[in-house]
C-alpha cells in the first residue's frame, strides 16, 4: 500500500461520527477549513491512548483559527471488538464528549486511500486540499511535554500559507487492523 504523498490531493471522504452526524472532507461545495488534521486512531492501542489527550488539546487550541481535527477509526471491529462503532460511541460518552468528531471507516476505504499504517497516523491537509504533513504527533508518545509539537508546527506552517518545514515523520503506533 502506498501512502499519499506530500503535496498530493487528500482523498475525499464522508463518514459517520459517533453521534450519528456525518463529516466530509473534500466534498463538492464544501467550504474548506484553513487546515484539517486527519488522525487515524482507535480505542485499543496504547500509542493512540498515550497521544490522545495531546491531540484533543490541539483541537481545542486551534479551534479559534477554524482548524478542523477529525479522528477516524478504521480498524477491523470483527477481530477487534473494542474498535466497533458501538465501542467508539461508548468511549466518547464515557468521556463526556470530545472536541472532535470520532468517525467510523467501516470499509477501511479511507485508511487505504491515505495509506495510513498505524494508530495514530496524522495527516494535515491545507485549504487547497493538498497533504502538507504526515507522521507522528510528536517525537515521544511517552512524554506529554512534547505536546504534539510536530503536528502543531505543521498546522502553524499551513496557517501561515507556507509548506510544512517538517513535512514527514515516521508514524509510530499499532498497525491498522485490516480485514482479512
Partner 1 sequence: MTPPRVELLFWDGCPSHPQALADLRAAMGELGLDPAAIEVREVDTDQRAGNARFVGSPTIRIDGEDVDPPPDGEPFGLTCRVYRLRDGRYSPVPDPAVLREALENAMTRSTT
- Tell me how far the alpha carbon of residue 40 is from its chain's centroid: 4
The answer to whether residue 47 forms part of the interface with partner 1 (CB under 8 A) is yes
Residues 81-140 that bind partner 1 (CB under 8 A): none
Within a 10 A sphere around the Cβ of 134, how many other Cβ atoms? 25
Kindly state the smallest distance separating residue 122's Cβ from partner 1, in Å. Answer: 16
Indicate the DSSP class of residue 73: E
Residue 175 contacts partner 1 per CB under 8 A: yes
Of 120, 129, 117, 126, the closest CA to residue 177 belongs to 117
**Size (the chain), residues:** 180
With CB under 8 A as the contact rule, the residue among 6, 24, 49, 130 that binds partner 1 is: 49
Task: Quote the distance between the C-alpha of residue 35 and its chain's center.
Answer: 12
Q: At what angle do helices 149-159 and 46-62 cross, to 10 degrees?
A: 30
Nearest-approach distance from CB 37 to partner 1, in angstroms: 21
Residue 44 touches partner 1, criterion: CB under 8 A: yes
Contact status: 46 vs partner 1 (CB under 8 A): yes
- By CB under 8 A, the count of residues binding partner 1 is 16
Which residues contribute to the site for partner 1 (CB under 8 A)? 44-47, 49-50, 52, 79-80, 141-142, 144, 172-175
Amino acid at each position: 500500500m502506498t501512502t499519499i504523498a506530500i503535496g498530493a490531493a487528500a482523498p475525499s471522504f464522508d463518514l459517520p461520527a459517533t453521534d450519528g452526524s456525518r463529516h466530509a472532507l473534500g466534498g463538492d461545495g464544501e467550504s474548506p477549513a484553513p487546515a484539517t488534521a486527519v488522525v487515524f486512531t482507535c480505542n485499543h492501542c496504547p500509542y493512540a491512548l498515550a497521544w490522545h489527550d495531546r491531540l484533543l488539546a490541539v483541537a481545542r487550541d486551534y479551534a479559534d483559527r477554524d482548524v478542523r481535527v477529525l479522528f477516524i477509526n478504521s480498524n477491523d471491529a470483527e477481530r477487534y471488538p473494542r474498535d466497533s462503532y458501538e465501542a467508539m460511541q461508548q468511549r466518547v460518552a464515557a468521556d463526556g464528549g470530545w472536541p472532535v468528531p470520532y468517525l467510523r471507516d467501516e470499509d477501511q476505504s479511507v485508511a487505504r486511500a491515505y495509506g495510513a499504517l498505524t494508530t495514530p497516523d496524522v495527516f494535515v491537509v491545507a485549504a487547497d486540499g493538498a497533504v502538507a504533513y504526515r507522521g507522528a504527533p510528536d517525537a515521544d508518545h511517552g512524554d506529554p511535554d512534547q505536546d504534539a509539537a510536530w503536528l502543531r508546527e505543521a498546522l502553524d506552517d499551513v496557517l501561515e500559507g507556507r509548506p510544512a518545514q517538517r513535512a514527514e515523520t515516521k508514524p509510530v503506533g499499532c498497525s491498522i487492523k485490516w480485514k482479512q
